[in-house]
Chain A
Amino acid sequence: MAMSAGPAARSANTADAVVQLGDYATQVFAVAAAEVDKLRHDPLELFTRAVQPVLWLLLFGEVMAQVRGVSPGNLRYLDFLSAGILAQSVLFVAIFNGIAAIWERDLGVLQRYLVSPAPRSALVIGKALAASVRAFSQALIVYLLALVLGVGIELDVASIAGVIAIIGLGSALFSTFSLIIACLVKTRERFMGIGQVLTMPIFFASNAIYPLSLMPGWLRAISHVNPLTYEVDALRALMLTAGRSDYGLGLDFAVLIGTSALLTAVAARMYARMGY
């Protein structure tokens, strides 16, 4: 019976796979949509989070622009910095993902996600997607400010689509990293301490606010294995009219996609254990 029903069974399997894929997409979307609904109810967070990048560009940027030699030949320092600050604001928003997960665990909302039939990876990706949505709002603010400050911004559709892709990836990467840390430490107090200890080195051991060429060798080596460096590199190439990539967009995308996939696989395993 099974033999004669070969083609029919295969098409049934295909149909099953399509249904499962649809369910998976819906589950990812469900988690992200809930976060977006929350932002809609209380958008204040988006504005308070915008203060930090504004301060970096206006205060730090204007002062550092006076220092000779800090920016690479072809770029004004403010142009150079604007891509770095965009990546930084995405990073700082993404790192928040872990503390939100701990908060949800303490409340009981997490248990509700975990008893649902949604694959754990769908939950993790949904959270990452939500972090990306938050990051896009940051990007909008940095873009507007950069335009006001006269930064040479590339505004064609392909460049903006590229920037959106990089921000989405960078945000997914660091928010998932943050989720893994949350799964390890499990309490808000410990996460607050560790979050600081991790965020600052990720930020400073990268090309976000100064070029790698200014760094001592050991720091440059660390920066070379820091995904943020590749995110910033791609953002500079895509966002700025005078920008170019040091490593090539292909490598930038490969590093960000590969690291995100790896972290998602790890996080999916660990997130399941957060309900213990």
Chain B
Amino acid sequence: MIDVRDTSHLAVPAAPATSEGGPDATGAHCPIEVRALTRRFGDIVAVDRATLGVNEGEIFGIIGPNGAGKSTLIKMLTTLLPPSSGSATVVGADIVRQPAEVRRHIGYVPQLLSADGSLSGYENLLLSARLYGIPHRERAERIARALARMGLAAASRHLVGHYSGGMIRRLEIAQSLLHRPKVLFLDEPTVGLDPGARKAVWDHVLDLRRSFRTTMIVTSHHMDEIDQYCDRIALIDRGRIAAIGSPAELKAKMRPGATLDDVFIQLVGNQSETETEEGYGDVRRTRRAVREHG
């Protein structure tokens, strides 16, 4: 039996197998360092003293039941939401004191639709290029490359409202990549997609890591994806990090032949009967996003 509440031994992140050399070998920062990060909404503690580190080039999964605090954690790391206490640095910049600096170095693909359906693919990318201050003379080339990389060159002049769910996700990834972020946050990037579109999204994610060593934070409810593609994962339950490690490590602590689904259920239990504050809103948003994606 694992002590799911004691995460103190996890405070210092273990270097993943894929990372060559320690993160501080050159004096550089870990792309993401989170120390006792906490967010309260009134009496509810949405994220409770989360501590973790993510290494360069790592694909880091965050899993947990609905309302566990995954989105709140990501909102804090992307500077959308200030923490109640604790601290975090993203690409060396403090999320509270240097939010603009953090924003310059991250890309974020929210769970909801972030591409504008009443604009064309090209116009969406142009908007991002301008917001991120990409010099005028580089814009056209970077947009063309991003579209080509995501397989959207042919559809670039069409309205995004007519895209398929998979195309929209790829466009959103393209628009979050134009400024070449060092860290990319993907909040449920495959929600509502069919298996072919899901695989295409993951292929692009892996390709990015290969090409640019982009560090990625991904949330998903698909344990098979998380198992297959993530180097390490953190399981969040009721605001706390219940476990952290590579999928293999977490499974090894269970019975032989255990899947990540088993780990999830073992550590979190079945909370589907628990009433939560934001349950209805969450479900409404997710279902609407699913409907509008495809």
Shortest distance from the beta carbon of B158 to any chain A beta carbon, whole Å? 11
Judge if B112 is at the interface, Cβ distance under 8 Å: yes
Q: Which of B116, B132, B292 sits near A38, CB closer than 8 Å?
A: B116
Residues of B within 8 A of A26 (CB): 130, 133
Task: Using A41-B118, A41-B159 as known contacts, say yes or no to A115 and B130 having CB atoms under 8 A apart.
Answer: no
Q: Chain B, 98-130, contact with A by CB distance < 8 Å: what is the 0/1 string?
A: 001001101010111111101110010011101
Residues of B within 8 A of A30 (CB): 126-127, 130-131
How far apart are the CA atoms of A114 and B110 in the complex, in Å? 11
How far apart are the CA atoms of A34 and B119 in the complex, in Å? 8
Judge if B81 is at the interface, Cβ distance under 8 Å: yes
Residues of A within 8 A of B285 (CB): 106
How far apart are the CA atoms of A26 and B106 in the complex, in Å? 20
Interface 9-mer from B57-65, B72-80, B242-250:
B72-80
Q: Which of B104, B111, B114, B133 sits near A112, CB closer than 8 Å?
A: B114
Q: How many A-B residue pairs have CB under 8 A?
A: 84
Judge if A218 is at the interface, Cβ distance under 8 Å: no
Q: Which residues in window 232-256 of A have CB below 8 A to B?
A: none
Determine if A23 and B108 form an interchain contact, defined as CB atoms under 8 angstroms apart.
no
Judge if B267 is at the interface, Cβ distance under 8 Å: no
Determine if B132 and A109 form an interchain contact, defined as CB atoms under 8 angstroms apart.
no
Determine if B130 and A111 form an interchain contact, defined as CB atoms under 8 angstroms apart.
no
Closest chain B residue to A30, Cβ basis: B130
How far apart are the CA atoms of A23 and B133 in the complex, in Å? 6
Q: Which of A23, A34, A111, A119 sits near B127, CB closer than 8 Å?
A: A34
How far apart are the CA atoms of A275 and B76 in the complex, in Å? 11
Judge if A108 is at the interface, Cβ distance under 8 Å: yes
Determine if B123 and A112 form an interchain contact, defined as CB atoms under 8 angstroms apart.
no
Determine if A111 and B110 form an interchain contact, defined as CB atoms under 8 angstroms apart.
yes
How far apart are the CA atoms of A106 and B130 in the complex, in Å? 23
Shortest distance from the beta carbon of A207 to any chain B beta carbon, whole Å? 37
Q: Which of A27, A275, A276 sits near B133, CB closer than 8 Å?
A: A27
How far apart are the CA atoms of A154 and B159 in the complex, in Å? 41
Residues of A within 8 A of B208 (CB): none
Judge if A29 is at the interface, Cβ distance under 8 Å: yes
Shortest distance from the beta carbon of B37 to any chain A beta carbon, whole Å? 16
How far apart are the CA atoms of A109 and B161 in the complex, in Å? 13
Task: Using A108-B114, A109-B114, A117-B104 as known contacts, say yes or no to A27 and B131 having CB atoms under 8 A apart.
Answer: yes
Residues of B within 8 A of A27 (CB): 130-131, 133
The CB with the most chain A CB atoms within 10 A, among B78, B113, B175, B285, is that of B113
Shortest distance from the beta carbon of A69 to any chain B beta carbon, whole Å? 48
Judge if B289 is at the interface, Cβ distance under 8 Å: yes
Secondary structure type dominating chain B contacts: mixed
Residues of A within 8 A of B100 (CB): 117, 119
Residues of B within 8 A of A23 (CB): 133
Residues of A within 8 A of B116 (CB): 34, 38, 109
| Total number of A residues with any Cβ neighbor in B under 8 Å | 27
How far apart are the CA atoms of A34 and B122 in the complex, in Å? 11
Residues of B within 8 A of A113 (CB): 131
Closest chain B residue to A108, Cβ basis: B112
Residues of A within 8 A of B79 (CB): 115
How far apart are the CA atoms of A108 and B285 in the complex, in Å? 10
Residues of B within 8 A of A117 (CB): 100, 103-104, 131-133
Task: Using A42-B118, A108-B114 as known contacts, say yes or no to A116 and B131 having CB atoms under 8 A apart.
Answer: yes
Determine if A111 and B103 form an interchain contact, defined as CB atoms under 8 angstroms apart.
no
Closest chain B residue to A126, Cβ basis: B131
Residues of A within 8 A of B113 (CB): 107-109
Q: Which of B104, B112, B131 sits near A111, CB closer than 8 Å?
A: B112
How far apart are the CA atoms of A38 and B127 in the complex, in Å? 12
Determine if A33 and B127 form an interchain contact, defined as CB atoms under 8 angstroms apart.
yes
Shortest distance from the beta carbon of B97 to any chain A beta carbon, whole Å? 15
Residues of B within 8 A of A109 (CB): 113-116
Task: Using A34-B123, A41-B159, A108-B289 as known contacts, say yes or no to A115 and B118 having CB atoms under 8 A apart.
Answer: no
**Mind listing 22 A-B residue pairs with CB under 8 Å?**
A27-B131, A27-B133, A29-B130, A31-B127, A33-B130, A34-B116, A34-B123, A37-B120, A38-B119, A41-B119, A41-B120, A106-B112, A107-B112, A107-B114, A111-B114, A112-B114, A113-B131, A115-B79, A115-B80, A117-B104, A117-B131, A119-B100
Residues of B within 8 A of A (CB): 75, 78-81, 100, 103-104, 106, 108, 110-116, 118-120, 123, 126-128, 130-133, 159, 175, 285, 288-289, 292
Apart from A27-B130, A115-B78, A115-B103, 13 more pairs, CB < 8 Å: A23-B133, A29-B130, A31-B131, A33-B126, A33-B127, A41-B159, A108-B114, A109-B115, A118-B131, A275-B75, A275-B80, A275-B81, A276-B80
For the complex of A and B, 6 pairs with smallest distance between CB atoms = A108-B112, A30-B130, A275-B80, A112-B114, A116-B131, A117-B103
Residues of A within 8 A of B (CB): 23, 26-27, 29-31, 33-34, 37-38, 41-42, 106-109, 111-119, 275-276
